[in-house]
Amino acid sequence: MCKMESMVARRRDDLDPVWKALASPLRRAILDQLRDGPQTTSALAERFPRLTRFAVMQHLRVLEDAELVIPRRVGRQRYNYLNPTPIQRIADRWVSRYMRPWTEALVSLRDELESPPREERA
C-alpha cells in the first residue's frame, strides 16, 4: 500500500469511533440532551434514573473518544458540550454522496414539469 492509500484508509477509519458511539440508543439520547446546551455529568445522570452515575460516565467516555462530547471542568463540576462536527463529517461523507443524484433528478423533474407542453414548444 502506498503512502497516499494508507492516509486515505486511516482517514476513513477515523469515523469508526463515531459510528460506535452513535450505535447506542442511550448515547444518542445523551447527545439529544446536550443539544439544548451543556450539562454537568450529575445533571445527565439524573435524566437517566435507570443508570448508575458510573454507567453514564462510561457512555460519556465513549462519546468523548468519538469527539462527540467535549468536557470542560469548572471547579468540581464537569460540563459536557455537544460537538456536532463528527456527525457533520458522516453526513458529508455518506448522506451528501447519495443526495446529489436525487437532487439532480428532482431538478430535472421540476424543469420538465414547469416547461411548456411539447406541442407548444414546436
Residues 54 and 102 in one domain: no
Does the model's pTM come out above 0.95? no
Into how many domains does the chain fold? Answer: 2
The pLDDT, as a whole number, for residue 94 is 78
Give me the domain span that covers residue 106: 85-122
The answer to whether 121 and 115 are in contact (CB under 8 A) is: yes
Q: Which tens digit of pLDDT belongs to each residue from 55-95?
A: 999 999 999 999 999 999 999 999 999 999 999 998 888 77
Residue type, 41: T
* Spatial distance between the Cα atoms of 84 and 122, rounded to a whole number of angstroms: 52
Residue 73 C-alpha cell reads as 471542568
HSE-up (13 A, CA, CB side) for residue 17: 15
Residues 38 and 16 in one domain: yes
